[in-house]
Structure 1
Amino acid sequence: MKVRRRFTAVVAVVSAVALVAAGCGRGTRGGEGSASPGITDTAITLGITTPLSGPTAGPGTCTVAGVKAYFGSVNAAGGVKFGDGKTRKVEIKSYDDAYDPQKSLANFQQMSSDGVFAVTAGLGTPTNRAFRDAAIDEKFPQVLVMTGDPLFSKRQDSPWQLGFVPIYQNEGAAFGKLLAASGGQHKVAVLAQNDDYGKGYVEGFKQAIAGAPNVQIVRELSYEATDTSVDAQLTELASTGADVFFNAMSITPLAIAALQKAQQVGWRPSWFLPSNTSSPSAILQPGNASAFPGIYSVAFAKAPQSPEFAKDADVVKFLADLKQYANYPDVPAFPHCMWSYMVGATLQQAFEKMTKPTRDDFMTALRGISGFRAPLMLEGTAVDTTKDGQPAVSSVVVQKYNGKGYATAQAFG
């Protein structure tokens, strides 16, 4: 009897120690068998660090509004039925980083304290890079973010990251291919942001025109993202007489000022702008873009401003959701509102595949999506998260500004 009592006591102590150890580790790193931080049987919490103030507040505000609009509608209908059979509401916490890397890092640290499951949708390469290493260390998903930095989509280097928008090289290459195929002789002037953003666009463009005898880069200049003027660069580039201007620029006020300065010095080339600084109402109209023979950009989302999509079912629902669930009453001036709405739809695809409430299982589910036509996607584009080195969206369509919106550019000219 004494032996049995001693044995029973030992088993009880060992079991108690095991339970304490399991409890200490529960949910801290999203391990196997236990729920990760930020997810319960009824809700999941997502965080967004993005510029809600400063010169990039317009597109930054959109990155929150689109996700809130999408999941506001989904929550109103009952929530998302996850792959584990449980239905959860999706909660969004937003944090302002003013496009400042130090603030975005502080925001990420705050998210860890606030019990956020994953970071998503936030705008900016330097701001997303600021906490990338910390997210990897903490096994904290940083996914479907608004940066074309290819690093975020390389699984070996960034196992807990995934970009959403096409990498910069893809956008630059799309325009380069169109220009090279035009048949005409073209002299190109380049102005690029002096960081990975600008360099990525130029790299893709140069790769696409390599070996094209009809395209010549005659001058290439740069500017800093903190600059308040690019007048000197525009004046120098105008002196080249280039008929094409490749403007890899991410700052809205500078994009407007560049359009205006070119007109002041009498330079009217065809113009390429990246997708995130090509808004008809926020940039092209204030910059009097109709004065140029052609303004080109790339897109993968239907533009609500375009008459072509005014009555499109996706667009009508998107605008209604944006007003009702994100308190965003206007037609958005920036494409980021549409992009983040698509982010919401893509996240839902992953949630529906999750069979465990863990970050590990979420990343596995997220990386298994292919051929998904998210709401608002243009014909010929789709979400595919299965390609290593590519973001969720890697296909784009080159478009030409028509004075009100954009239409697909079948040819350059």
Structure 2
Amino acid sequence: MMNLRNASRIGGVVATGAIAALLITGCTREGDGDAGPAEASPGITDTTLSLGISSPLSGPTAGPGSCTVAGLYTYLEAGNAAGGFEFGDGNTRTVELTYLDDVYDPAKAVSNFRQLVDDGIFAYVGALGTPTNAAILPIANEDEIPQVLLVTGATMFSSDQETNPWTFGLLPTYYSEGFAFGELLAERGEVTVAVLSQNDDYGDDYVAGFEAAIEGTDVEVVASATYEPTDPTLDGQVTELAASGADALLSAVSVTPLQVGVLTKAQSLGWLPEIFLPSNTSTPATVVIPGNGAAYPAVYTTSLSKVPVSPTFAEDEDVIAFNEAFAEYGAEIAPTYTPHCAWSYAEGAILEQAFLGMTEPTRDSFMEALHSIEDFQAPLLLDGITVNTTDPTLPAIQGLNLVQFNGTGYGPVQ
């Protein structure tokens, strides 16, 4: 198999090994009773399985986007090097991943998805982004192509499986993150809050969860503003919110440079509220420290995974295995760590569980197996946070912990 680290880069797109070799070769498996042999879906043979992903590998969201690819690629390549993946139909297969750059642009993501399908992928997995995945969702479901374990917490990707049975999310919802922030403030009595949110389902979910948690409490939202991911700066919005003098800021911003800008602009205005950051833009090295988060009374976020770059987890067996494999397979894709590296690595283990449950080489069998995982402790997930996929209205991972920035990383809420 071609090593992705040596793949050519043309027009900002990273291409993997010969996908044409993965097209259907007529592999079949004897079915039950009189059903006869099961015809294999595109992208799977007796020895290989082809997966595809589109992610922002360049542009302002390149950090999280690259980690979303690198973590999954690391898990799959490590498994391939160990002899491949066992499937429920009795075959052992090499799993190959093709990834393309969409620059966090929905139109480009759709184009990439169509290209991957035309090239013969079996499933589209682990893609980052709410607007990009939303653009692909109707196409994937119309064409009955798995679009699964998406790296986004938007509720739309898991809440309506009857309408969109081929789409499925990975992460706890943004609604649940917003709710966790609201619960913390609700315990404090009278608190004023300013809210900055993305003008789409991502932002709507955060705000809805937060408002649900503070309903009937003494917490009051005194100012709110929205933004577009393409905005060059959020200085205007922050200035408007700062005028409220709110005690806390819920900054539901999904673009790393913009989130850093929010932190630095508020300080320049002399506004130092408590800060609540989404899990996808809260990495100390790329967001909180560059934004001088230590200047604020407190910075909170949510966490569901161990942090491989933290000394706290240096002796953890999962972290040691991840760091060794990532150094070999993922580091050239994502040189800077974000939580997406850990999330997508755990995603690889979830896929492996689904492979074990596949009794036929078909997309239908894959989806059935994917929705049959219970209480699975995926590597790098925090203790007590497990994978449960049997409820089709919820993402694969539902648990999360609220944590507080301690100057270098995150620890328990004080």
TM over 0.5: yes
Report the residue type matching 2:211 in the other structure.
K
- Indicate which of 357, 364, 389 corresponds to 2:368: 364
2:42 counterpart of 1:37: yes
Question: What is the match of residue 337 of structure 2?
Answer: 333
- Indicate which of 241, 246, 253 corresponds to 1:249: 253
Across the aligned residues of Structure 1 and Structure 2, the Cα RMSD in angstroms comes to 1.7
Report the residue type matching 2:79 in the other structure.
V
1:281-312 CA-to-partner distances (Å, cap 9, x unmatched) read 01111101111111100010111233321222
Deviation at 1:130, TM superposition (A): 1.2
Distance 2:383 2:332 in 1: 26
1:4-43 superposed matches below 5 A: 33-43=38-48
Contact in 2 for aligned 1:305/1:404 (Cα 8 Å): no
Deviation at 1:184, TM superposition (A): 3.7
Q: 1:94 to 1:335 in 2, by over 3 A?
A: same
Contact in 2 for aligned 1:306/1:406 (Cα 8 Å): no
Contact in 2 for aligned 1:151/1:389 (Cα 8 Å): no
- Indicate which of 266, 271, 274 corresponds to 1:270: 274
Unaligned 5+ runs, structure 2: 1-23, 28-34
Question: What is the match of residue 235 of structure 2?
Answer: 231
2:347 counterpart of 1:347: no
- Indicate which of 173, 190, 194 corresponds to 1:167: 173
Deviates more, 1:231-240 or 1:187-196: 231-240
Distance 2:109 2:335 in 1: 28
Report the residue type matching 1:346 in the other structure.
I
Question: What is the match of residue 223 of structure 2?
Answer: 219
2:313 counterpart of 1:309: yes
- Indicate which of 123, 133, 137 corresponds to 2:142: 137
Distance 1:388 1:212 in 2: 32
Q: Secondary structure at the match of 2:382?
A: coil
Which has more radius of gyration? 1
Distance 1:54 1:328 in 2: 17
1:249-306 CA-to-partner distances (Å, cap 9, x unmatched) read 0011110011001111111111001000001001111101111111100010111233
- Indicate which of 111, 120, 127 corresponds to 2:116: 111
Contact in 2 for aligned 1:306/1:404 (Cα 8 Å): no
Deviation at 1:221, TM superposition (A): 1.2
Q: 1:370 to 1:109 in 2, by over 3 A?
A: same
Report the residue type matching 1:161 in the other structure.
T
Deviation at 1:382, TM superposition (A): 1.0
Question: What is the match of residue 51 of structure 1?
Answer: 56
Q: Which has the higher helix share?
A: 1
State TM-score, norm by structure 2.
Answer: 0.89
Distance 2:63 2:294 in 1: 23
Q: Percent identity?
A: 50
- Indicate which of 73, 78, 94 corresponds to 1:73: 78
Question: What is the match of residue 394 of structure 1?
Answer: 398
Distance 1:330 1:120 in 2: 18
Report the residue type matching 1:195 in the other structure.
D
Distance 1:263 1:370 in 2: 45
Q: 1:329 to 1:104 in 2, by over 3 A?
A: closer
Deviation at 1:113, TM superposition (A): 1.2
Contact in 2 for aligned 1:198/1:248 (Cα 8 Å): yes
Contact in 1 for aligned 2:67/2:333 (Cα 8 Å): no
Question: What is the match of residue 302 of structure 2?
Answer: 298
Q: 1:330 to 1:307 in 2, by over 3 A?
A: farther
Report the residue type matching 1:110 in the other structure.
Q
Distance 1:247 1:184 in 2: 21
Unaligned 5+ runs, structure 1: 1-23
Q: 1:168 to 1:76 in 2, by over 3 A?
A: same
Question: What is the match of residue 83 of structure 1?
Answer: 88
Deviation at 1:168, TM superposition (A): 1.1
Contact in 2 for aligned 1:319/1:331 (Cα 8 Å): no
